[in-house]
């Protein structure tokens, strides 16, 4: 919470409070309304994200994404073509990647569509359950061998 408060102060000091809106723990309808209002989705996570569920949600809505080049993100971007990677902890690179997409709406729309198709084709519930089952089967097979 302390980190959040510092960021709010920095936003206010820069005169950008009217361009910032914080939505804490939105319900499903609020989340969808938010995603429908934006052009590019980013969560510049300061930790190594192991899953990226929120990225899948944004991509499922057809949004191009910009995320740090670490954790689960590089694999997701490579597999989907749904966005761009930026250098972790580098606000200038993040801003540059977002600007690339905002400056080229066709490219952004194409990436958003690729991401949406990928999520629908590969990351639906049954696909994720099947992939998890394969991992469990492989682990069990190794245990039987060893």
pLDDT for 124 beyond 90: no
Q: Quick one: which of 79, 67, 65, 71 has its CA closest to 49? A: 71
Query: Average pLDDT for residues 21-50, to the nearest whole number?
Result: 89
Give residue 127's pLDDT. Answer: 76
Residue in 65, 54, 62, 53 with CA at minimum distance from that of residue 120: 62
The rounded distance, in Å, linking the Cα atoms of 64 and 40 is: 5
Q: What does the pLDDT read at residue 128?
A: 74
Least confident segment among 42-51, 88-97, 118-127: 118-127
Query: According to the model, what pLDDT value does residue 25 have?
Result: 82
Residue 39: its pLDDT value, please?
Answer: 96
Average per-residue pLDDT for the chain: 92
Out of 29-38, 92-101, 102-111, 124-133, pick the least confident.
124-133
User: At 21, is the pLDDT very low, low, confident or very high (cuts 50, 70, 90)?
Assistant: confident
Q: Decide if 23 contacts 90 (C-beta within 8 A).
A: no
pLDDT at 23 (0 to 100): 77
**Dist CA 65 CA 77 (whole Å):** 9
For 53-87, how does the pLDDT look when each residue is reduced to its tens digit (9 = 90+)? 999 999 999 999 999 999 999 999 999 999 999 99
**Span 107-122, average pLDDT:** 96
Residues 6+ apart with CB under 8 A from 64: 40, 41, 82, 83, 84, 101, 108, 109, 111, 112, 115
């Amino acid at each position: 919470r302390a980190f959040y408060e510092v960021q709010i102060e920095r936003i206010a000091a820069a005169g950008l409070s009217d361009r910032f809106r914080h939505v804490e723990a939105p319900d499903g309808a609020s989340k969808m309304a938010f995603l429908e209002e934006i052009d590019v989705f980013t969560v510049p996570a300061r930790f190594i994200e192991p899953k990226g569920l929120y990225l899948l949600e944004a991509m499922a809505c057809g949004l191009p994404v910009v995320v740090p080049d670490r954790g689960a993100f590089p694999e997701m971007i490579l597999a989907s073509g749904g966005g761009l990677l930026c250098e972790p902890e580098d606000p200038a690179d993040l801003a540059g990647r977002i600007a690339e997409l905002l400056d080229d709406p066709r490219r952004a729309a194409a990436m958003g569509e690729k991401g949406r198709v990928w999520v629908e084709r590969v990351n639906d519930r049954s696909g994720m359950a099947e992939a998890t089952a394969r991992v469990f089967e492989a682990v069990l097979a190794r245990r039987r061998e060893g």
